[in-house]
């Protein structure tokens, strides 16, 4: 919840300092002319940037601003799954020593590695629902654990969606606000209520998953 509020505040400040309304409109116009090809290109850029440790929350909010929640969830689900799989394989077969050193910066991941054989996909789900470990880093870190590749990709793909939905909605509402859409007070109230409910749900789930991970200790 705190992360979402900080991102919302940062978006407002950036929106005031930079012509973000024109940026969003430009991206929306580009996506409209490119059609399905534009979604593929956006998804490819998303996957590459996620591999380069660009925060997934920012990328997902941008997707929400450009594509809305409906098509945005499709683009993000596919792009994030590709990024997950690629980072996992790099962490397991290409840069394992570097990833093991990275793992030492996240003590909680030592617990994850210790319990991964027992918990399998359930541990992946708990980490995905609990955003205390950066998304991009966790993809590489899972490659250094004993979790099977298929179990990781499926579990990660499913349990990334709740957080992705929240950030997509936040990005969509932000884009609508910056664009000054001609909505009535009731429509804005519904958008605000939907965002509040979504963030509250994510916060509640995060608390539950933190307790579950703490129990593993």
- The percent of residues above 90 in pLDDT, for the chain, comes to 15
| Domain ranges (residues) in the chain | 2-216
Of 189 and 47, more confident: 47
Q: Is the pLDDT of residue 84 over 70?
A: yes
Is the dihedral angle over the CA atoms 68, 139, 209, 211 positive or is it negative?
negative
Per-residue confidence (pLDDT) for residue 161, from 0 to 100: 87
Give the integer Cα–Cα distance in Å for 23 and 187: 24
**pLDDT of the residue at 44:** 94
Q: Report the 3 state secondary structure along 171-213.
A: HHHHHHHHHCCCCCHHHHHHHHHHHHHHHHHHHHHHHHHHHHH
Whole-number pLDDT of residue 81:
94
Regarding predicted confidence, which is higher, 88 or 132? 88
**Among 6-10, 61-65, 183-187, which is the least confidently predicted range?**
6-10
Average pLDDT, the chain: 76
Q: What is the mean pLDDT of residues 84-88?
A: 92
Tell me the pTM: 0.74
Over its C-alpha atoms, the chain yields an Rg (Å, rounded) of 18
pLDDT digits (tens, 9 = 90+) for 97-139: 777 776 677 666 666 666 666 666 777 877 777 666 678 888 8
């Amino acid at each position: 919840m705190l992360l979402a509020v900080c991102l919302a505040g940062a978006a407002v400040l950036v929106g005031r300092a930079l012509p973000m309304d024109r940026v969003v409109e430009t991206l929306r116009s580009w996506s409209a002319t490119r059609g399905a090809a534009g979604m593929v290109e956006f998804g490819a850029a998303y996957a590459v940037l996620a591999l380069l440790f660009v925060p997934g929350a920012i990328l997902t909010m941008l997707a929400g601003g450009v594509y809305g929640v409906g098509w945005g969830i499709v683009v993000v689900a596919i792009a994030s799954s590709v990024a997950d799989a690629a980072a996992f394989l790099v962490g397991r077969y290409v840069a394992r020593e570097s990833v093991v050193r990275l793992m030492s910066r996240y003590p909680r991941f030592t617990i994850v590695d210790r319990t991964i054989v027992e918990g399998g996909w359930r541990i992946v789900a708990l980490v995905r629902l609990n955003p205390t470990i950066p998304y991009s880093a966790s993809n590489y870190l899972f490659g250094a654990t004993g979790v099977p590749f298929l179990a990781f990709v499926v579990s990660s793909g499913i349990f990334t969606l709740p957080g992705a939905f929240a950030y997509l909605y936040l990005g969509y509402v932000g884009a609508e606000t910056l664009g000054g859409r001609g909505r009535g007070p009731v429509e804005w109230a519904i958008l605000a209520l939907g965002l509040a409910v979504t963030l509250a749900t994510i916060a509640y789930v995060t608390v539950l998953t933190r307790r579950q991970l703490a129990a593993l200790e």
